[in-house]
């Protein structure tokens, strides 16, 4: 019985697909068996912070003491810890008796309560320039001894 054209074409395509699949499988096996050496896998960082495949020149190596490395930058502390900080009232609600002051130097936002005012009869409004002392409360930093300037 004679094979039709379409059957012959389908059979050719099937054989071709099988051969391509075997080739891909052989390539995968070859890449797995061809392992790179440690030196080929190494990457180096140059003096500019870029990755490179060449090791750094040992002549240019500098010794750095561990205590010279700054892990974090500390917040700037005032020169005199007893000195009053200055800031601007960013929000104050006289009905509820609380608000916030923003430090002029660090832009840190601190909580202000009417009980923290130096003179209890002082009225604070948004935009008022004040001087204060910062203290840590159980909920974060708080301004106490707040006085208008």
Which token pair is 126?
């948004």
Which structural domain, as residue segments, surrounds residue 4?
1-62
- 94 & 127 share domain: yes
Please say if the pLDDT value at position 128 is more than 90: yes
What b/e string do you get for 20-45 counting C-beta neighbours within 10 Å, with b at 16 or more?
Answer: eeeeeeeeeeeeeeeeeeeeeeeeee
Examine the domain organization and report whether 91 and 139 are in the same domain: yes
Between 73 and 32, name the one with better pLDDT.
Answer: 73
| Residue 80 domain-assigned (yes or no) | no
Residue 33 banded pLDDT, cuts 50, 70, 90: low
pTM of the model: 0.47
């Amino acid at each position: 019985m004679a094979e039709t054209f379409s059957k012959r074409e389908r059979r050719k395509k099937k054989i071709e697909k099988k051969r391509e699949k075997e080739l891909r499988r052989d390539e995968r096996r070859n890449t797995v068996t061809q392992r790179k050496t440690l030196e080929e896998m190494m990457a180096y960082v140059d003096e500019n912070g870029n990755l490179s495949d060449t090791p750094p020149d040992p002549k240019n190596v500098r010794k750095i003491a561990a205590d010279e490395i700054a892990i974090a930058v500390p917040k700037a502390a005032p020169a005199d810890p007893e000195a009053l900080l200055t800031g601007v009232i960013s929000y104050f609600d006289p009905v509820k008796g609380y608000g916030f002051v923003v430090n002029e130097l660090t832009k840190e936002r601190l909580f202000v309560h009417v009980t923290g005012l130096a003179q209890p009869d002082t009225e604070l409004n948004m935009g008022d320039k004040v001087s204060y002392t910062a203290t840590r409360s159980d909920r974060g930093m708080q301004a106490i001894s707040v006085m208008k300037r």
